[in-house]
């Protein structure tokens, strides 16, 4: 009986820590990023032809990375700083220099990934391909 009470007390004391898991990183989010922003979205089509969009939010991604604030910076579970990158390239009709734009984006991402854990923010939060 004593062990059950002790376990109950431990659980009660740990609830605030679990509830504040999001707050471990919330204060370090960049001003242009919200926890509800969509990181990725993909259209999943079932065998009957109907489609649903599966999205991943900033909140889900940061929880997956076990992110937290350290010295005012957002870091992952290994202590590597997290950087958000807004992807380009969701064009219905791409611009004439789209290959150059995409190459520049690829080069930037390659360099950023050397130093940061990069969260690539989709440019198509609906998940529905452009026509």
* Residue 1: predicted pLDDT: 57
- Mean per-residue pLDDT over the chain, rounded: 85
The residues spanned by each domain of the chain are 23-121
Residue 13's pLDDT is what?
52
pLDDT tens sequence across 47-103: 787 778 899 999 999 999 999 999 999 999 999 999 999 999 988 899 999 999 999
| Whole-number Å distance between alpha carbons of 39 and 121 | 4
Q: What is the pLDDT of residues 79-92, one digit of tens each?
A: 999 999 999 998 88
């Amino acid at each position: 009986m004593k062990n059950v009470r002790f376990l109950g007390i431990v659980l009660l004391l740990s609830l605030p820590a679990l509830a504040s898991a999001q707050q471990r990183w919330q204060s370090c989010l960049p001003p242009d990023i919200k926890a509800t922003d969509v990181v990725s979205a993909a259209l999943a089509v079932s065998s009957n032809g109907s489609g649903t969009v599966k999205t991943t939010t900033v909140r889900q991604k940061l929880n997956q990375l076990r992110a937290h604030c350290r010295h005012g910076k957002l870091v992952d579970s290994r202590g590597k700083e997290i950087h958000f990158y807004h992807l380009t390239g969701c064009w219905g009709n791409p611009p004439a220099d789209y290959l150059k734009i995409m190459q520049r984006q690829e080069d930037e991402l390659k360099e950023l990934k050397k130093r940061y854990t990069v969260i690539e923010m989709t440019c198509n939060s609906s998940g529905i391909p452009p026509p």
